[in-house]
Amino acid sequence: MSTEESIKIDIEDADEEAVKPEEATAEEEPGKEVKEETGKEAKEEPGKEADEESKAEDAGDNKDEASDDKGGKKKHSKKNKKDPRDEKIEELEDRVKRQMAEFENFRKRTDKEKSQMFDMGAKAVIEKILPVIDNFERGLENVPEGADEAFSNGMKMIYKQMTEELDKLGVKAIEAVGKEFDPNIHNAVMQVESEEYESGIVAQELQKGYMYRDTLVRPSMVSVVQ
């Protein structure tokens, strides 16, 4: 081999060695670009994930709020709507109260009717007894002189007992003499002149009148001063 050929070979080897580093750098550059891209993506991905997570949280919050609103509306509607059992209880209580009120009115009405019936019956009996009392009074007023004293005393005792029993029942004689004439309880059968009493005053009682409690049984038969 000549020196020229050896020089050429050396030059070629040098050129090849110069080319290899360029190829190596060319081969390395795509790798760097891939790494840079992956790095950017890696940097961008956490931000995206954070955004997605925040969106997901917001959506969850909105769902919770919506569910709370629905739950609140349901609860509110449940509160407004009465339980059928409570409505039934209220209806039964109202019915019982009405029946009790009706029964109380019925009791009062029947008691009043009974009282009126008793008063009517008592008044009818008293009206039949009064003539007997009148006859006792006439008999006692006309006891002859020299009559049996024991007999007349017995008549007086019987009369007293009868009047006391009538008084216990609520039967009372109407006061007439010296009282102003009252057409509600007095029955005027004549007019007389009197120096003792003024005009319109009862001067004489011809027949006693009686009251049973607040009811007139018989008016007094009287004569009135002119």
- Rounded to whole angstroms, the Cα distance separating 167 from 171 reads 5
- Rounded to whole angstroms, the Cα distance separating 130 from 218 reads 9
Tokens representing residue 56 in the block: 């997901």
What is the DSSP track for 9-65? HHHHHHHHHHHHHHHHHHHHHHHHHHHHHHHHHHHHHHHHHHHHHHHHHHHHHHHHH
Domain membership of residue 165 (yes or no) is yes
Give me the mean pLDDT over the 150-159 stretch. 88
Q: What is the CATH number of the domain that holds 219?
A: 2.30.22.10
- Ranking 17-21, 86-90, 155-159, 173-177 by mean pLDDT, the lowest is 17-21
**Domain edge (last residue) among 130, 149, 169:** 169
Could you tell me how far CA 137 lies from the centroid of its own chain? 62
Sheet holding 220-225, edge to edge: 186-192, 220-225, 202-207
Domain membership of residue 114 (yes or no) is yes
Tokens representing residue 181 in the block: 């004439």
Tokens representing residue 155 in the block: 């008549």
Q: Are residues 137 and 94 in the same domain?
A: yes
Number of domains in the chain: 2
Hey, how many other C-beta atoms are within 10 angstroms of the C-beta on 171? 20
pLDDT of residue 21: 44
- Ranking 108-112, 150-154, 218-222 by mean pLDDT, the lowest is 150-154
Domain membership of residue 50 (yes or no) is no
- Ranking 33-37, 58-62, 210-214 by mean pLDDT, the lowest is 33-37
Q: What is the CATH number of the domain that holds 159?
A: 3.90.20
pLDDT of residue 122: 86
Q: How many helices (H) and strands (E) does the chain have?
A: 3, 6
pLDDT of residue 29: 44
22-36, 46-60, 175-189: which has the highest mean pLDDT? 175-189
- Rounded to whole angstroms, the Cα distance separating 49 from 108 reads 87
Domain membership of residue 23 (yes or no) is no
Q: Write the single-letter amino acid at 50.
A: A
Averaged confidence pLDDT in the chain: 75
Q: Are residues 206 and 157 in the same domain?
A: no
- Ranking 39-48, 153-162, 178-187 by mean pLDDT, the lowest is 39-48
Domain membership of residue 17 (yes or no) is no
pLDDT of residue 87: 87
On the question of pLDDT at 12 being above 60, the answer is: no
**Number of C-alpha atoms within 13 angstroms, CB side, residue 156?**
10
- Does the pTM exceed 0.75? no
Q: Are residues 161 and 185 in the same domain?
A: no
On the question of pLDDT at 62 being above 80, the answer is: no
Domain membership of residue 214 (yes or no) is yes
Q: Among all chains, which residue has been given the structure tokens 């009818």?
A: 124
Helix (H) or strand (E) holding 206: strand 202-207
Task: List the domain range (segments joined by +) for residue 144.
Answer: 89-169
More confident: 129 or 149: 129
Domain membership of residue 179 (yes or no) is yes
Q: Hey, CA dihedral for 211, 213, 216, 217, is it positive or negative? A: negative
Give me the mean pLDDT over the 42-52 stretch. 49
